[in-house]
Amino acid sequence: MSVQVWTYLIVGATFILYIGIAVWARAGSTQEFYVAGGGVHPVANGMATAADWMSAASFISMAGIISFAGYDGAVYLMGWTGGYVLLALLLAPYLRKFGKFTVPDFIGDRYYSNVARTVAVICAIIVSFTYVAGQMRGVGLVFSRFLEVEINTGVYIGTVVVFFYAIMGGMKGITYTQVAQYCVLIFAYMVPAIFISLQMTGNVIPQLGFIGDINDGSGMALLDKLDQLHTELGFAEYTSGTKSTTDVFAITLALMAGTAGLPHVIVRFFTVPRVKDARISAGWALLFIAILYTTAPAIAAFARTNLIATINEQPYAELPPWFAKWEETALVAWQDKNGDGLLQYGPGEAFVGAVDQVRDGAGAREQGPYGETLLNNLPTDNRNEVYIDRDIMVLANPEIAQLPAWIVALVAAGGLAAALSTAAGLLLVISTAVSRDLMRMQIKPNMSEKEELWWARGGAAAAVLVAAYFGVNPPGFVAATVALAFGLAAASFFPAIVLGIFDKRMNRAGAVSGMLTGIILMFGYMAVYRLGWFVDQVPPESDWWFGISPEGFGSVAMVVNLAVALVVSRVTPPPPEDVQEIVETIRIPKGAGAAIDH
């Protein structure tokens, strides 16, 4: 059977499974809608948390970034993994003991202020919509290639599926759907990795194949071979870094703090019965996450090696079928600059404005998908003729390695599972922020539970529609968009949560002023230096503040947030005694007794 038929079968079966679970686990109360009734088993919650956290950026885009950036791409591994450890050890148990459904709920009560709650709601919505844009683009990307529909059509299909189980089941439906989605995504990620590791290195374990010798009779290590290929083509060595130490540190810190401040991950620790279960589920989630994250560098290296060997100096007419299939999605493109009919692959853009023009389908067809309009403006400072969108590397990897069609389709199902699981969690955060943190806690406190549930479902429906818009009009490739969301979370939530737990002197004036300063600073920097708003064109890297990229600027905004919050809190009245007592209480382990002053 063809890849498309296999895709219809496997993706269709997984969608039926997700919808069936949503019907079985539909929410009947607000507690079930918000926190799945608080009765999820720690192992199931660990799997759901892993699926919620490992988004399209982890499944589709992270290995793609590492594949193209090499050593520099390791910041995503360090930042996201380290951030989860930070969340599990530093925040999750205390937030669970505090007992609130949402991050804005915690901030509103801890800082005894509806103003603080409202600011937290705004921050949650901004972070979640920025994050969900990457997920919906990932959904569209998978559909566009494997079901051979336009990316926008793929986004709409994914929107319908998420709409159904997010609105019907709330957190209860999403939790058990995410358990199934984790099983699908991890199986889909590992199967091709094992096949390709055997094929390229003779080692069944991809992590060992990554550091082993390539299976071509040369006796050369895989990474040495990749370094050689890179230098021959004019790229920097794969195992050497080009980013400044400052930027690497800033991006890693922003991703770590952003992970620990992501509201859709934090809320998962409210779905278990006890504080102890929150700690246990955090440990299980870390194990489930580590399976994928330790495999990503191997997949990146395998894909990069095979890609270079498959396309460079090859006649266009003799390329394998996968290249033409991906050309139809506008995520791969070729321009024959020297007229020799061979693909010349090297550093630099294949076209002027390659990313925007290729994705928009600008230009007329020549030998590749884009022609004369772009040919008139080709750069002369590089020999590269090939445009490869880094987001395709994991999805195209089995095809490049010539694996069976069912494995190719399985990877498509895994990518959809990763994107949809995270999108659903994010949409629930948005709907809860509207129904509970705005309507129930502030605007209409006397509403019935049934009415609140309707508001929650209405908020989810509206959020799904906005998410579809961002999926059709994304601000960048998947992992970059998601990285910006982490920066926004680091700049806004992380300081307020940490100080709310560990600094009983922190008051509402300090928290509100810090959050506002951090989110405005980060959003403004992102708007100018990544999106090009308010300026004629996106400023060059040489203009970055302190040499820090927009993906890493969340760490700067976070430090500013902390400084502002601490200074303001010390020059304004302290919190009420009962609030300070709560802060003391949530840090006391169960059975330890009351704190004693000496």
Task: For the beta carbon of residue 244, count every other beta carbon within 10 angstroms.
Answer: 16
CA–CA separation, 489 and 558 (whole Å): 9
Query: Which of the two residues, 475 and 285, has the higher pLDDT score?
Result: 285
- For residue 213, the 8-state DSSP code is B
Structure confidence at residue 28 (pLDDT): 58
Cβ atoms 513, 564 nearer than 8 A: yes
**Nearest by Cα to 272 from 46, 40, 31:** 40
Model pLDDT, residue 38: 59
Listed residue (425, 405, 42) closest to 262, CA to CA: 425
Query: How high is the mean pLDDT of the chain?
Result: 79
Mean pLDDT within 335-352: 78
Amino acid at 144: S
CA distance 556 to 254: 8
pLDDT of residue 566: 95
| Distance linking the first and last C-alpha atoms of the chain | 75
Residue 166 near residue 424 (C-beta atoms within 8 A): yes
Count CB atoms within 10 A of the CB of residue 254.
34
Q: How many CB atoms lie within 10 A of CB 380?
A: 6
> Which pLDDT value is given to residue 572?
94
Q: What is the pLDDT of residue 167?
A: 64
Q: Are 528 and 593 in contact (CB under 8 A)?
A: no
Please report which confidence band the pLDDT of residue 61 belongs to, taking 50, 70 and 90 as the band edges: confident
Entry pTM: 0.79
User: b/e for 434-458, b at 16 or more Cβ within 10 A?
Assistant: bbbbbbbbeeeeeeeeeebbebbbe
Would you say 315 and 346 are in contact if contact means Cβ atoms under 8 Å apart?
A: no
Is 80 exceeded by the pLDDT of residue 98? Answer: no
Go through the chain and tell me how many residues it has: 598
Question: In this predicted model, what pLDDT tens digit does every residue of 26-45 receive, in sequence order?
Answer: 655 565 565 555 567 888 88
pLDDT at 420 > cutoff 80: no
Question: Residue 299: what pLDDT?
Answer: 92
Residue 277 confidence (pLDDT): 80
How high is the pLDDT of residue 371? Answer: 31
Structure confidence by residue, pLDDT tens digits, 460-517: 777 778 777 777 776 554 445 666 677 878 888 889 888 988 898 999 999 999 989 9
| 236 or 452, greater pLDDT | 236
Most trustworthy range by pLDDT among 65-79, 89-103, 248-262, 296-310: 296-310
SS3 553: helix
Taking residues 9-37, what's their average pLDDT? 71
What is the rounded distance in angstroms from the CA atom of residue 118 to the CA atom of residue 114? 6
Is residue 557 within 8 Å of 127, Cβ to Cβ? no
State residue 265's pLDDT score. Answer: 76
**What radius of gyration do the chain's Cα atoms show?**
24
pLDDT band at 521 (very low <50, low <70, confident <90, very high): very high
**What average pLDDT does range 389-410 have in this prediction?**
87
- All structural domains of the chain, each given as residue ranges with its CATH number in brackets, are 3-303+403-476 (1.10.4160.10)
Question: What does the alpha-carbon distance between residue 594 and residue 211 come to, in Å, rounded to a whole number?
Answer: 52
- What whole-number percentage of the chain has pLDDT above 90? 11
Does the pLDDT at position 296 exceed 80?
Answer: yes
Calpha distance 110→511 (Å, rounded): 10
Average pLDDT rounded to a whole number, residues 406-435: 81
Tens of pLDDT, residue by residue over 330-341, are 778 888 777 788
Residue 595 has pLDDT above 60, yes or no: no
Residues 6+ apart with CB under 8 A from 473: none
Query: Which pLDDT value is given to residue 295?
Result: 92
Report pLDDT digits (tens) over 527-581: 888 777 777 777 888 888 998 988 889 899 999 999 999 999 999 999 998 888 8
Residue 267 has pLDDT above 50, yes or no: yes
Q: Does the structure show a pLDDT above 70 at 382?
A: no
Rounded (10°) CA dihedral 65, 67, 69, 73? 60
Average pLDDT over residues 430-435: 76
The predicted-structure confidence for 352-365, as pLDDT tens digits, reads as follows 544 444 434 333 23
pLDDT at residue 592, as a whole number: 42
Looking at per-residue pLDDT, the higher value among 142 and 289 belongs to: 289
**Residue 228: exposure state from Cβ atoms within 10 A (0-12, 13-18, ≥19):** middle
Mean pLDDT for 438-445 is 76
Q: 221-261 pLDDT, tens per residue?
A: 999 988 888 888 888 888 887 788 898 899 899 888 887 77
